[in-house]
A and B are shown apart, each in its own frame.
Chain A
């Protein structure tokens, strides 16, 4: 699995120049931010009003972050496809693995907030 992932990453880097990848990441980040900023600001304000459901909101926030991660990779793939119509690398699988890794980090951060940081901060 790891070997396959490394092969796909290598093929991805061969197929696109660093400039093209950075440009695609930048575009995907900006477009995701356009959706993420109001969404996260709204969730932040909902949390401030309904603080007594804090744990539920943190779980919701983890889900939203996972969805935003999906959206970012969707935009990233779209940007790369628009740059080069014939892509040999299996971007779906490559990005799915990337997403899973990032999602695991989000879940760990969320759980740390629920069990460690919130009990410390809420005094």
Chain B
């Protein structure tokens, strides 16, 4: 890229701050070509493409960043990818057809949603085995765990519910009705709220964790985009709980929602059928996986601008960020 060079004094204020050295790597699961694309966080260049099991979807990083867990749905297990050697070192059993999972904050337990048999499998990471299975609603998908690790939220697509489960007793605490076909559940960093996206309903329900009630339903409207195209899926909330980003699927946009007023601040245009999203380690960037256009978009969180889009594998599902 040829840039016009001008005296820094002139433009220093106006120019965006030069990006801090971003020493991190992005791991993108590509649902269609059974690979994981590894990108360098600073240059956004593809550094490796790793072959994994069949139909990799849910992707989650271990707390130390040494490994990445991938739900290889059609292989019916979870694969653990060593981020240094870039090889699959372990296979963990997960129950059939694992789509989405969430890792407890201590990194010891994986909660996996088994879509077809209406169960959540609790997997001990060290042992690599399913310890227990928790029966939940029909078609479980969204998995969210509270920051203190004590509460698990699982959404069931068909019954449009968010189930609150105590991780200790593994008993159901509460069931909250949300929008139609809920997909993703996300706790805020202080654990006070859970945001649940409803794909068909076109809304995001904000649930208060203490009272287990829906305090607000965020809806979306984009001029020129038909309402049916707006399908909220992935959610990512800034650690300071000020802004929540929601991926809107075939609407090809990310909604930046003010987490206090619940108003949509801006819609950011990304690639086609944006599914999931994850923050960079410093929280200044947001990475989104765009399923149909097969690329990853990078958003500047403070400026609320889409900076770049880079091609990855086929049908990218989700992204995990490791140092």
User: A and B from one assembly?
Assistant: no
